[in-house]
Amino acid sequence: MGCLNLRSIVQCPHCHFKVTERMSTTQQVREWQCPACHKSVQASPGACCIFCEYGTVPCPAVQQGKGAH
């Protein structure tokens, strides 16, 4: 198994601000607050986390083939 990429650029669906965030290897992040517009962003019911829905890199679970994308 290769190395995990733990950084993803997350784009706010409200204001389109982009920021690089570090992903956790132990828990899913289903809610995130945009540092620019301060709105709360939640993953859709079909997405496992905000990184898989709004990020440039899927979460570690998906990278390892353990999560639903």
Give residue-wise pLDDT tens across range 8-30: 999 999 999 999 999 999 999 99
pLDDT tens sequence across 25-64: 999 999 999 999 999 999 999 899 999 999 999 999 999 9
Residue 23 inside a domain? The answer is yes
Determine, yes or no, domain membership for 38.
yes
Side chain identity at residue 4, one-letter code: L
Q: How far apart are CA 18 and CA 6, in angstroms?
A: 16
Model confidence pTM above 0.95: no
Q: Look at residues 11, 6, 40 and name the one whose alpha carbon lies nearest to residue 23.
A: 6
The predicted pLDDT at position 39 comes to 98
- Is 2 within the bounds of a domain? no
Residue ranges making up the domain that contains 20: 7-63
1: in domain: no
11: in domain = yes
Task: Say whether pLDDT at 66 is over 90.
Answer: no
Nearest CA-CA partner of 60 in 28, 12, 21, 19: 28
